Amino acid sequence: MQTTFIGVDVSKAELVISVGDQAAVSVTNDTSAIMRWLASLPQDCSVAMESTGRYHLLLAQLALQAGLNVYVLNARDVFFYAKALGARAKSDALDCVVIRRYLQEHVQSLYPWQPGTPVQQQLHLLLTRRAQLSAHQAALKQTLKAVDLPGPQMVHLMESFKALLQAIDEQVVHLISSDDAMHQGCQRLQSITGIDPQTSALLTELLSRLHFANSDALVAYSGLDPRANDSGTKRGRRRLSKRGPALLRRQMYLAAFAASHSKALKPLYAHIRAKGFSTTESMVILGRKLLRVALAVWRGNTVFNPEQLLPKTA
- What CATH number should be reported for the domain holding residue 82? 3.30.420.40
- Kindly report, residue by residue over 20-37, the tens digit of the pLDDT: 888 889 999 999 999 999
Does residue 10 lie within any of the structural domains? yes
Does residue 68 lie within any of the structural domains? yes
pTM comes to 0.85
Structural domain harbouring 98: 4-109
Does residue 171 lie within any of the structural domains? no
Which run of H or E residues covers position 230?
strand 230-231
**pLDDT at residue 313 greater than cutoff 70:** no
**pLDDT at residue 130 greater than cutoff 80:** yes
Of 47, 82, 109, at which residue does a domain stop?
109
Does residue 270 lie within any of the structural domains? yes
Of 109, 140, 159, at which residue does a domain stop?
109
Does residue 304 lie within any of the structural domains? yes
pLDDT value at residue 100: 95
pLDDT value at residue 314: 44
Does residue 246 lie within any of the structural domains? yes
Taking CB atoms within 8 Å and a gap of at least 24, the contacts of 161-167 are 161/133, 161/137, 164/133, 165/130, 165/133, 165/134, 165/137
Does residue 85 lie within any of the structural domains? yes
Of 67, 82, 109, at which residue does a domain stop?
109
Split into its structural domains, the chain has a count of 2
Cα separation, 210 vs 115, in Å, equals: 10
Q: Which residues pair with 220 in a beta bridge?
A: none
Does residue 125 lie within any of the structural domains? no
- Kindly report, residue by residue over 274-295, the tens digit of the pLDDT: 999 999 999 999 999 999 999 9
φ/ψ (deg, to 5) at 111: -105, 130
